[in-house]
Structure 1
């Protein structure tokens, strides 16, 4: 630190503020990406294939169909338990009346036109239209299965929208990184401009380039680290406020990935501080005396 102080003061605040704003925006994009990924994962885990069963099947036949479905590779399992839910036609009728507000019994009397069914959750890797069609064809071959249904085109639409979100955020992050490098480079160059004659004086007394460069680079690393810490703090505060204000947002939060994101921001900030300072100092080290003026 003593070496840095001897080199004089540079406008630290301007560098730190510029870098903090840029890192905060990158962190915000990262947080949005993590939330979008988690939301997509939850949507995929809750995609269900409805296996409608023939009427008047015996209990043993229902159990047999359940076991056959449970053995399929595409069935989602939690704690080694297949995520298959049996819904009787009586329960299905009750749900239909509650959701639609229409009572079919006024027209059909007590005749229930619905079927017993198994609601089957599918693994994420089978979350595309082609594989779902294959699953439908496979299940419809089972004896006692009347029909298999799922929400068609929904899967492809979700996948397309997720891909668009990732693409937009990726482009935005790349643009931000370019802007950061240019902005921080210019800011650090200006901050070192007043030190150019001091750098020349140190060269004249025999100081090596490495000796001259070191305190500036250390200072750049500290500026990047401080900017990263401030940006991470602001990001965590914003995230906590959002979780408190927006109902259900807490489900999308993953502490482990948030920690990785903050570490990434700290590393990016430190690297930008080091590389930008190194480049700027190197420029002044190579200038001739006439060029310094």
Structure 2
């Protein structure tokens, strides 16, 4: 009887195998990932000098495409303002009468794509030219006024673009009494062509710089893998899976990319602030107001996210290339 009771007690005191729920397993996986994310970040700072140098190199490489983006965005703003031709100058025939000028002004006022028409008489034009040129005394010796009457035409907002201004200028050329129509469009189109070529060059340079980021991070992770070869062999001896071993290296690459992206954003911000005063002074000479537009929140987020993704991809390449080949002897 005593033996039977003992056996029962042993059976009742034996360890029970409890089944872990699905949510418990998911929570365990997430906990494991978070631990490896933060442990990989701490691992970077065991060699702070090398880590800082790598991050700074990544930041400089990534800052160049972001600076190009800032330059392109501001160039688009400026060229967009230039593209909106606000005035069209109509140079009238020298022998046109005052009555005919009034008739022409009334006719142009009926155009649906014209906002205002301003008449500058030949006498007024000559006086303005005297003030601007500084040759007032020499011009007083002229027998007659060589300047014609001019009509300044301001298109409506919908026509304030290259295509609309060209179409309106073609119609105005057919008006009787108009000798010459002047719209500064050709140089704008040439500028846009130059900007388009510059954008292609910038894209090519940006691609090369992003490839350099991949190579830098990939080589850095490769060196980390080789330096921790003994630890990796021990992990594999105790049965650790490749996915478990490679995760810290993947997260380390992502950390390199993320920190490099933050440095790139800071460098771009500092550069914009440094150039701001110079641009304001330059525009002040032309009596214009222009503020450099820096990276907005969305662009900064895209920069940092893209840098993080590049770091992750680069580390993945190194992991698949070198870590899987390490086997315990």
Structure 2 length-normalised TM:
0.70
Instruction: Give how far 1:243 is off.
Output: 0.5
Instruction: Give how far 1:112 is off.
Output: 6.9
- Count of matched residue pairs: 274
* Residue 86 (structure 1) aligns with: 118
Aligned: 1:64 with 2:104: no
Alpha-carbon displacement from aligned partner over 1:139-189 (angstroms, at most 9, x marks no partner): 222356443123474234223322232222222212212222222221221
Q: Secondary structure at the match of 1:251?
A: coil
Instruction: Give how far 1:252 is off.
Output: 5.0
Alpha-carbon displacement from aligned partner over 1:114-143 (angstroms, at most 9, x marks no partner): 21312436533528xxx73x5432222235
2:327 is matched with which residue: 280, 289, 293? 289
State which drifts further: 214-223 or 53-62. 53-62
Aligned: 1:107 with 2:145: no
Query: 2: CA distance between counterparts of 1:126 and 1:222?
Result: 49
State which drifts further: 186-195 or 10-19. 10-19
Distance verdict in 2 for CA 1:26–1:191, change over 3 Å: farther
Equivalent residues of 2:172, 2:181 under 8 A apart: yes
Q: Give the unaligned 5+ runs of structure 1.
A: 76-81
Query: 2: CA distance between counterparts of 1:208 and 1:279?
Result: 18
Distance verdict in 2 for CA 1:105–1:213, change over 3 Å: same
2:270 is matched with which residue: 208, 233, 237? 237
* Residue 268 (structure 1) aligns with: 306
Distance verdict in 2 for CA 1:265–1:55, change over 3 Å: farther
Structure 1 length-normalised TM:
0.78
Q: Secondary structure at the match of 1:96?
A: helix
Equivalent residues of 1:196, 1:284 under 8 A apart: no
Query: 1: CA distance between counterparts of 2:251 and 2:185?
Result: 58
Largest Rg, 1 or 2: 2
Query: 1: CA distance between counterparts of 2:319 and 2:190?
Result: 51
Q: Give the unaligned 5+ runs of structure 2.
A: 1-33, 284-288
1:123 is matched with which residue: 160, 173, 194? 160
Equivalent residues of 2:120, 2:150 under 8 A apart: yes
Equivalent residues of 2:85, 2:160 under 8 A apart: no
Aligned: 1:211 with 2:244: yes
Distance verdict in 2 for CA 1:38–1:264, change over 3 Å: same
Q: Secondary structure at the match of 2:147?
A: coil
